[in-house]
Structure 1
C-alpha cells in the first residue's frame, strides 16, 4: 500500500463517518430548511396568482422585478445582521416578518401596494440565509464544512421538489390558502430555531466563536470587505456561473420547443436533473473533498458551461439527455463545495457579510439570466449559446484564482 493510501485510510475519516460526526445543529438547521423549502410558494406561484387575479403580465413582471431587487438587498442586509446582532436573532427576524407579510398578500388590492409588499418580502425573506450558513460554520470543524453544507443543500433540494408538488395541489384549491400555508410553515421554521438553537455558538454559547461579533469591528463595513480582491473574484465567478446555470430554465425550454419537443419532454429532462442531484450530489462530496477546492469549482463550472453550450447543437431527446447529464454533473460538483470554500477565504468575524455577498451575487446572476438570456435568444438563439460558453469559461478562469496566500489561509482556518 502506498504512503498516500495509508494517509488516506488512517488520517482522513471516511465521508460516512464525517456525516455521522456532524453536530446536531447541522441536522436541526437542515431539517428546518427542508420544511421551509417545502412550504415556500410565493416566488414560484406569484405570477400565476397575479395574472389569475386580473393583473396584466406587465404588472406581474414589475412585481417580480421588485422581488428580485429585494432579494439582492436582503442577502446584503442579512450578512450585516448576522455579524452584528447574531445568527439566531437574524433568522427569527427574517422568518417572522416574512410570515406576516406573506399572509397579507392575498388581501392586497392596488398594484403599488402589491409591489411594495412583495419587494419587502424579497428583502426580509433572504436575511436568514447568511445567518443559517453562519450557524453551520460556527458549529463544525474545517474538515466537516463540506459535509455540513452538503447536508444543508440535500435538504433544500428535497424540500424544493416536495414543495413544487404541494404548491401545485394547494394552488388548485385556493391561492389564498397557498400563501397562508407558506406563512404557517415560516413560523414552524422559526419555532424550530427558537427552541432548538438557543445556545447557538456565536451568541454566548461559550465557544471560541462567541466573541465573533466583537472581532468584526463596527468600522469594518461592506466597502472594506469589497476591497478583498479574492472575494470580488469569487463574486464575479458566482454571477457568471449562475447566469450560465439559470439558462436551464430559460434557454433550455425555449430550445426544447424550437426543436419540436413538448413541455412534457422538458419536464422529463428537468426531472432527470432533479433525480440525479438528490441521489448523487451528497455521495459526490466524498470524491471532490480529495482535491483542491479551486480546481473542483473550475471543473464544475466547466461541465456546466459545456453541457449548456452544447444544448444549441442537440436536436433530439437523446442528445438533450446527454447534455443534461453533463451540466448536472457540473452543478453537483460546484454546488457541493462553493459555500464551504468561501468560508476558507473568509477572515474571522465576517462570515455573515461574506455569505451575504455570495447570496447577493447568486441572486444577481439568477435574476439577470432570464432577462438577458431571453432577450438574446429572441434576437439569435445561437448567440445565447455563445454567450453561455464565454461566460462559463470566464467563471472557470476566475475559479482557478480563488486561493488565499498560505499565511492568510492558515489564519482563516
Structure 2
C-alpha cells in the first residue's frame, strides 16, 4: 500500500508544482493569458481522455504493477521534457500528454487499493488521500523555491524525483489482491457480462463530481477571488490559511476513516457532503475576513473528511470484473467537476454575480447528498458482481478471493 500511495503522491507533486511555476514559465515563452489558461485546461482534458481507457486496460491486461510504474515513468519523462519546450504549442502538447499519462497513473493506483481487503477500505483510502494531500502540498513549495533560480529547474527536479520513485517501485511488490475478480468461466457455459452501472455507483460518481467541483471551483478559484476582492486579504494571508487547512485535513483523516468504518458509509457520505454544501454558503459573508476564513477552513476540512468514505463506497459498489472501468468512470466524473466548476463560477463572477456563484457552489453538494441518500444506501449484491460488504453500518465482510479459501484471503 505504501508504494502505491508514494507513486500517487509523487505524481500529485508534479501537478502541484505548476501552480506557482506555469505562469512564469509560460510568460518566458511569450504565451498570452489565453494560452496560459489553455495550458491549464489541456491537462484536465488529457485526464478526461484516459481515465476510463486506463481502467479498462488495467482490467483486461491484469498487469497493474507494470501499468502503474510505466504510466508514472511517462509522467516523469514528460515533466522533464517540459523543461525543454521552446514554444507555446509545444508546451500545450506536453501538458496534454502529461495529463493523459497522469490519468492512467491515478486510476490504476486507486484501482490497486480498491482491491485490498474490504475491511480496510476506509483506512486504505484515508492513507491514499493523506499522501495525495502531502504530494499536492509539496509540489507548490518545490516549484516556488526552484523557480527563483530558473524557470525550467522545477520540472527537472520534479521529473528526477518522480523517476527515483519509479526505480524504488521496481524493487517493491504491490499490495496483494484481496477481493474477488470476475468469477472464472466454466468450460462450455456462457457467462453473462457483468453490469457496470448500479444505483450505488451512480450515487458515488455524482458525489465525486460535486466534491471535485467544490475543491477546484470553490477552493482554488472562487475562494481566492473573494479573499482578494471582497475580504481584502493578501496572497500571503490566504496561503497561510490554505496551508493550515491542509495540515488540519491530514490530522483529521484518520478520524474520518474511523468514523466512516464505524458509522457506515451510507450515513457518513451524505451528512459530510450536505455539511460541505452548507459551509460553501458561508462564503456569502466574504466581506468579513473572519467569516471567509471560517468558510475556507470548513470547506477544506469537510472535503478532506469525505474522502475516505467516498473512496471506500466506490470500492464497494464497483463490480469485481469491471472494477477498472468503474474507477475510471469515477475519476472522469470528478474531472468533469474540475473543468466545469471554474468555468461556471468564473462566468458568474465575470458577470458581477459572485453571490449567485456562491449559492450555486453550495447547492451542488447539497443535491449530491440527496442523490447519495436515495441511491447509495444499498450495496451491490454478490450475484450482481459487486464487492462484498455493507454500506449501512459496520465494517464490510471480506468475500473470499477466487481460488483462495475463505479466511486465507
TM-score, normalised to structure 2, is: 0.84
Note the C-alpha offset of 1:60: 1.5
Tell me which of 156, 176, 180 is aligned to 2:156.
Answer: 180
Aligned equivalent of 1:154: 130
Report whether the alignment pairs 1:404 with 2:374: no
Distance in 2 of aligned mates of 1:296 and 1:249: 25
Q: Deviations for 1:333-372, whole angstroms, at most 9, x for unmatched residues? A: 3112111111110111222211111111111112221121
Note the C-alpha offset of 1:67: 1.4
C-alpha contact 1:299 1:330 (8 A) present in aligned 2: no
Q: CA 1:369–1:186 in structure 2 vs 1: closer, same or farther (change >3 Å)?
A: same
C-alpha contact 1:41 1:179 (8 A) present in aligned 2: no
Aligned equivalent of 2:6: 31
Distance in 1 of aligned mates of 2:267 and 2:179: 31
TM-score, normalised to structure 1, is: 0.83
Q: CA 1:109–1:331 in structure 2 vs 1: closer, same or farther (change >3 Å)?
A: same
Aligned equivalent of 1:255: 226
Note the C-alpha offset of 1:376: 0.8
Note the C-alpha offset of 1:102: 2.1
Aligned equivalent of 2:282: 310
SS at match of 2:103: coil
C-alpha contact 1:345 1:403 (8 A) present in aligned 2: no
Distance in 1 of aligned mates of 2:60 and 2:380: 29
Aligned equivalent of 1:117: 94
C-alpha contact 2:273 2:365 (8 A) present in aligned 1: yes
Q: CA 1:182–1:133 in structure 2 vs 1: closer, same or farther (change >3 Å)?
A: same
Note the C-alpha offset of 1:129: 1.3
Note the C-alpha offset of 1:62: 2.0
Where does 1:6-405 land on structure 2 (aligned, <5 Å)?
26-41=1-16, 43-44=18-19, 45-85=21-61, 86-138=63-115, 140-197=116-173, 201=176, 225=196, 227-246=197-216, 247-257=218-228, 258-379=230-351, 380-400=353-373, 401-405=375-379
C-alpha contact 2:47 2:102 (8 A) present in aligned 1: yes
Deviates more, 1:321-330 or 1:379-388: 321-330
Distance in 2 of aligned mates of 1:160 and 1:83: 27
Q: How many residues align?
A: 377
C-alpha contact 2:133 2:250 (8 A) present in aligned 1: yes
Q: CA 1:70–1:208 in structure 2 vs 1: closer, same or farther (change >3 Å)?
A: closer
Give the aligned CA root-mean-square deviation in angstroms.
2.7
Q: CA 1:66–1:231 in structure 2 vs 1: closer, same or farther (change >3 Å)?
A: same
Deviates more, 1:334-343 or 1:188-197: 188-197
Q: CA 1:159–1:90 in structure 2 vs 1: closer, same or farther (change >3 Å)?
A: same
Q: CA 1:219–1:128 in structure 2 vs 1: closer, same or farther (change >3 Å)?
A: farther
C-alpha contact 1:38 1:159 (8 A) present in aligned 2: yes
